[in-house]
A = this chain, B = another copy of it.
Amino acid sequence: MFSFFKKNYHHPLSKFIKSVFGFIPKNIFYYELALTHKSASIYYNKDFSINNERLEFLGDAVLNTIIGEYLFHEYINENEGFLTNLRSKIVSRHSLNNIAIKLQLTNVIKQQPDLDILASNIPGNALEAMIGAIFIDKGYDFTKKIVLAKIILPNVDWQDLIENDTNFKGKIIDWAQKHHVSIEFKCESTYINDKQQGYIAEVWIKNKMVGTGKGITKKEAEQQAAKEALGNIMPTQ
């Protein structure tokens, strides 16, 4: 037992985890797996390989529960719409990518070297997989402590998240539902400049086009289009 502990303690990844998350793993294998991107999958035979996607699936749910529980107790007078909205911003790909980069997870992720890790969701996905690994290795209550104390609370600007609501698509869908009008997003792939492929999105309300937007991802294009549409349909104050 002691030798197992000692071995883990001297494992380079254990040292990294100790310095970033403040604890020594029991089973280091889960953490190695959590940092293995699909492009660096470990093949056991031609039909069976492993990478961090299963742990990411688990970590995603665990993170939602931890943040959900935290917000439930922290914002006792706010309704579930507020809680859902705030949580979705905390656990967004954008937010998790930033946290993962700040925690220097990018230095220990295994992936194909030609992938541009900083322009991808690889860091945020690996962070979710790490949360899945902690959960499998140490259980829910321990994971909750680490996620809040080491990952979320020091790296999330709560006030900024609450005040600056940038989910324009969500806002305009809410607006359309409230006013009982049909709304439709149309999205096509296009070139957004000479070289870069991306998307163009349109927002249609009652068969009238009220906003367009372009972006590298479909989501970006739709957010841009929704933002423009909100400007067009909302009365100026």
* Chain A residues within 8 Å of B, Cβ to Cβ: 48, 53-54, 56-58, 61-62, 64-65, 68-69, 72, 77, 79-80, 83-84, 135-136, 139-141, 182, 184, 186, 188-189
- Which residues of chain B have C-beta atoms less than 8 A from A61's C-beta? 61, 64-65, 68
Bound Cα distance A72, B58 (Å): 7
Show 22 residue pairs from A and B whose CB-CB distance is below 8 angstroms, ordered by the A residue.
A53-B80, A54-B72, A54-B79, A54-B80, A54-B83, A57-B68, A57-B83, A58-B72, A61-B61, A61-B65, A61-B68, A62-B68, A64-B64, A64-B65, A65-B140, A69-B135, A72-B136, A139-B141, A140-B140, A140-B141, A182-B188, A184-B186
- Which 3 residue pairs spanning A and B have beta carbons closest together? A140-B140, A57-B80, A53-B80
B184 touching A189, Cβ below 8 Å:
no
A58 touching B54, Cβ below 8 Å:
no
**A224 nearest CB across to chain B (Å):** 19
- Which residues of chain B have C-beta atoms less than 8 A from A54's C-beta? 72, 79-80, 83
Name the CB-closest residue of B to A182: B188
**A169 nearest CB across to chain B (Å):** 16
**A53 nearest CB across to chain B (Å):** 4
Interface centre among A57, A72, A141 (most CB of B within 10 A): A57
Bound Cα distance A64, B62 (Å): 8
Bound Cα distance A139, B140 (Å): 9
